[in-house]
């Protein structure tokens, strides 16, 4: 009888576990597919395949720069508008293998050391993906005065279950192989979406859905969708893609930094989930063109989309490279707010995503030749 009671309790507990339903509409399925795809800087091919699959039926031309950025063109007349989102995510690369079969990792992109320990990762090797976990010191043997200290990345290893370096080689992995977080997409309550790499897979989904609508509705310009590479390690793909496109206007779409979790300093970021798309009025890499930022605000007001204005330190985005191209380009960085970026698990709000698409579509429709000429005119006014 006791065994039956325990079994029934176990069954009841299992029934109470959360069940993640299959992703909902087409857009949610795309968001999930993009978030789950591996693509550390320099290893963007799985993401590139999804992007090209989605953009090719909509664009009039697909091309690539020399670093692997995707450039999809729609329209052959009017000003050249570069709508940008990057394909890569923060990740890592295997550095070396120890004789005992552990691996050290070169981080790619900006990671906090406290986000690294005790996490699952996927290493993409010659024989396919291998699951790994980062080492963490056992609490039972950690002295009390060390339990609150952050373990530096130089003391963290990847454990794939190997007993020796030969075991690691047999798995088909070694120095130079890509490492990405193992953190599957899931739909949460209240339209919130959980996944890795919202920086910047959410931006990729925005530009894809924007082109889907603009290809149908029409627009007054030459639109170039740029899905760029290696943003997290120096904004490299934006530089080379802008060299190819030679834009008149640049619009970067990013995952923003939500500041609505407990314990944050309100001066760090002002955005909240569910508050609508954001515009960066300052970050560490770029300042937007003031007239273009004003046009974004007036466009948002005209279509009744709430717009969150934010200023963020310690942040860089592709607009910084775009604005330095082609003799100087008016640019702006628009964001979908996200919690916990540059970590395994981030959260976005679906309503923010949808409103960002609405804003981008409306903005691009307003960027006709006369408007772009006025944005690019710096002649002092006479009063």
Q: Which residues are catalytic?
A: 231
85 with 39: CB under 8 angstroms?
A: no
Q: Which two tokens stand for residue 280?
A: 């960066």
* 90 vs 341: CA distance, rounded Å: 9
Q: Please give the radius of gyration of the chain, using alpha carbons only, rounded to the nearest integer.
A: 23
Neighbours of 351 (CB within 10 A): 16
Long-range contacts of 131-138 (CB under 8 A, 24+ apart): 131/160, 131/182, 132/103, 132/158, 132/159, 132/160, 132/179, 133/158, 133/159, 134/105, 134/158, 134/159, 135/102, 135/159
DSSP string, 208-238: HHHHHHHHHH--SSEEEEEEES--TTTSHHH
């Amino acid at each position: 009888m006791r065994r039956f009671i325990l079994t029934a309790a176990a069954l009841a507990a299992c029934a109470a576990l959360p069940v993640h339903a299959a992703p909902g509409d087409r857009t949610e399925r795309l968001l999930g597919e993009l978030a789950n795809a591996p693509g550390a800087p320099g290893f963007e091919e799985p993401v590139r395949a999804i992007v090209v699959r989605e953009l090719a039926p909509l664009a009039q031309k697909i091309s690539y720069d020399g670093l692997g950025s995707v450039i999809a063109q729609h329209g052959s007349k009017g000003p050249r508008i570069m709508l940008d989102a990057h394909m890569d995510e923060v990740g890592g690369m295997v550095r070396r293998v120890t004789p005992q079969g552990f691996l050290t990792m070169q981080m790619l992109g900006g990671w906090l050391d406290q986000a690294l320990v005790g996490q699952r990762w996927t290493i993409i090797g010659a024989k396919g993906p291998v699951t790994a976990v980062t080492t963490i010191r056992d609490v039972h043997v950690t002295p009390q005065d060390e339990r609150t200290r952050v373990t530096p990345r130089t003391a963290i290893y990847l454990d794939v279950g190997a007993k020796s370096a030969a075991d690691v080689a047999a798995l088909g992995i070694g120095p130079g192989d890509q490492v990405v977080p193992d953190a599957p997409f899931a739909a949460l309550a209240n339209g919130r979406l959980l996944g890795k790499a919202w920086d910047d897979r959410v931006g990729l989904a925005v530009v894809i859905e924007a082109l889907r609508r603009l290809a149908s509705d029409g627009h007054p310009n030459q639109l170039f969708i740029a899905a760029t590479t290696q943003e997290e390690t120096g904004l490299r793909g934006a530089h080379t893609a802008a060299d190819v496109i030679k834009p008149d206007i640049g619009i970067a779409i990013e995952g923003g930094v939500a500041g609505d979790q407990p314990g944050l300093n309100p001066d760090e970021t002002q955005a909240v989930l569910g508050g609508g798309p954001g515009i960066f009025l300052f970050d560490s890499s770029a300042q937007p063109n003031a007239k273009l930022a004003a046009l974004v605000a007036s466009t948002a007001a005209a279509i009744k989309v709430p717009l969150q204005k934010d200023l963020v330190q310690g942040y860089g985005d592709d607009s910084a490279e775009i604005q330095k191209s082609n003799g100087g380009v008016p640019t702006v960085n628009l964001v979908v707010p996200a919690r916990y970026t540059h970590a395994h698990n981030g959260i976005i709000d679906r309503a923010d995503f949808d409103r960002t698409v609405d804003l981008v579509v409306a903005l691009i429709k307003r960027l006709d030749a006369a408007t772009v000429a006025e944005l690019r005119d710096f002649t002092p006014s006479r009063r």
